[in-house]
Amino acid sequence: MKPFTYERATSPAAAAAAVAAKPGAKFVAGGTNLLDLMKLQIEAPTHLVDVNRLGLDTIEATPDGGLRVGALVRNTALAADSRVRRDYGVLSRALLSGASGQLRNKATTAGNLLQRTRCPYFYDTNQACNKRKPGSGCAALGGYSRALAVIGTSKDCIATHPSDMAVAMRALDATVETVDGGGRTRTIPIADFHRLPGSTPWIETALTPGEMITAVTLPAPVRGTHIYRKVRDRASYAFATISVAAILPESGTPRFAFGGLAHKPWRVAAAEARLDGGAKAIAAAALAGATPTSQNAYKIPLVERTLAAVLAEGRAA
């Protein structure tokens, strides 16, 4: 690791001000992604602001029947909260499908949203990667791309966002609350939070430098069957090749969000209107315009088959 200085923040606004004031400064929450990348010198912050003890670790009911999840709530605590288990099953399952028991005890709500891609070339500092080194090129194009994105890609980056939790939050229409270095607060719909790579793949979210996540708010629950189905190379403790977060209400429009397909959780309104056409029609609409590589083209039929399994599970529930 490169040397850095360390401070324990005293309030969210002070933390944001501290990061905004110092170029090269970063927040540290659970540390499970940031420290991993710092050891490999893929991230090299000069200053770390520890946001762990600011009282942002509670889950509170909102006036409109939803839940406000503090940025520092651990993945285990969120998955195990009785209200989340009862009313937001898709989120509980998505969280539990990610990482390991040990990691989920540390990983936080904000840190999970902001985890970086698992593209193998992003991790290998000897390779060209626009995300790690802007302008250096993209070694994944024409390289080993089996795990990478099939839709929303650009000629500069075909990475995926690796989070399971974020896919469920996209299906739930969560909103992200922040405070910036000047103390200003705002809310960002999850649909606008993560960006597509375009020509600036190193800009991954709508956050401005020094802007800190304080909470994620879930709207009032959507009743129905909640399913999170994750397909991966081993049965546990592995990232998704693809995943489907589904909410199937007794009547009305279903919701489908997909992981492992794009640089952000993938959700297409037109696909949700195609329930009558079954898995084939939903998958076709969700994947319209997909540009897979020869190595990850298998994801296209896999989406349809996983959707078929999800719909069957929904009918059986």
Partner 1 sequence: MTDTNGFSLTRRGALVSGVAAASTTALPLDAQPLPAEARAATVPVSFTVNGKKRALDLDPRVTLLDALREHLHLTGSKKGCDHGQCGACTVMVEGKRINSCLTLAVMHDGDEITTIEGLGKPGDLHPMQAAFVKHDGYQCGYCTPGQIMAAVAMLQEVKDGVPSYVSTDLTAAGRIDAQEVRERMSGNICRCAAYSNIVAAIADVAGAEDVA
Ligand X SMILES: Cc1cc2nc3c(=O)[nH]c(=O)nc-3n(C[C@H](O)[C@H](O)[C@H](O)COP(=O)(O)OP(=O)(O)OC[C@H]3O[C@@H](n4cnc5c(N)ncnc54)[C@H](O)[C@@H]3O)c2cc1C
Residues that bind ligand X (CB under 6 A): 26-34, 36, 51, 71, 98-99, 103, 106-108, 110-112, 114-115, 162-165, 212-213, 239
Q: Which of 14, 27, 30, 242 binds partner 1 (CB under 8 A)?
A: 30
Q: Which of 75, 97, 108, 130 binds ligand SF4 (CB under 6 A)?
A: 130
151 scored as a contact of ligand SF4 (CB under 6 A): no
Q: b/e string for 148-182 if b means 16 or more Cβ within 10 A?
A: bbbbbbbebbbbbbbbbbbbbbbbbbbbbbbbbbe
| Least spacing, CB of residue 187 vs ligand SF4, in Å | 28
Rounded CA-CA distance 65/53 in Å is 27
Q: Which of 122, 228, 256, 266 binds ligand SF4 (CB under 6 A)?
A: 122
Amino acid in the structure at residue 255: R
Residue 44 per-residue DSSP state: -
| Least spacing, CB of residue 36 vs ligand X, in Å | 5
| Burial degree of 316 (CB within 10 A; 0-12, 13-18, 19+) | exposed
| Least spacing, CB of residue 259 vs ligand SF4, in Å | 16
Residue 206 binds which of partner 1, ligand X, ligand SF4, none (CB < 5-8 A, kind-dependent)? none
147 scored as a contact of ligand SF4 (CB under 6 A): no
What does the per-residue mask of binding to ligand SF4 show for 201-230, with x meaning CB under 6 A?
x-----------------------------
> Is residue 180 within 8 Å of residue 212, measured between CB atoms?
yes
| Least spacing, CB of residue 148 vs ligand SF4, in Å | 6
| CA distances for 301 relative to 143, 150, 232, 243, 314, angstroms | 22, 12, 15, 13, 20
Rounded CA-CA distance 10/12 in Å is 7
Residues of span 54-93 touching partner 1 by CB under 8 A: 76, 79-80, 82, 85-86, 89, 92-93
**Helix ranges (DSSP H) in the chain:** 12-21, 34-39, 75-80, 82-87, 89-97, 101-106, 109-113, 120-123, 165-171, 190-193, 269-272, 278-286, 299-316
Residues 6+ apart with CB under 8 A from 14: none
Torsion of Cα atoms, 227 then 230 then 234 then 237, to 10°: -80
Number of H helices, E strands in the chain: 13, 11
Rounded CA-CA distance 131/94 in Å is 26
CB closer to ligand SF4, 139 vs 166: 139
CB closer to partner 1, 68 vs 85: 85
| Least spacing, CB of residue 268 vs partner 1, in Å | 26
For residue 82, the tally of other CB atoms under 10 A from its CB is 7
Window of 32-40, 61-69, 198-206, 254-262 that interacts with partner 1 by CB under 8 A: 32-40
Residue 213 binds which of partner 1, ligand SF4, ligand X, none (CB < 5-8 A, kind-dependent)? ligand X
CB closer to partner 1, 96 vs 129: 96
Rounded CA-CA distance 150/146 in Å is 10
> Using CB under 6 A as the criterion, which residues of the chain lie in contact with ligand SF4 when the complex forms?
117, 119, 121-122, 129-131, 138-140, 148, 157-159, 201
> Using CB under 8 A as the criterion, which residues of the chain lie in contact with partner 1 when the complex forms?
1, 3-6, 8, 28, 30-32, 35-36, 39, 48, 50, 52, 76, 79-80, 82, 85-86, 89, 92-93, 96-97, 99-103, 105-106, 235-237
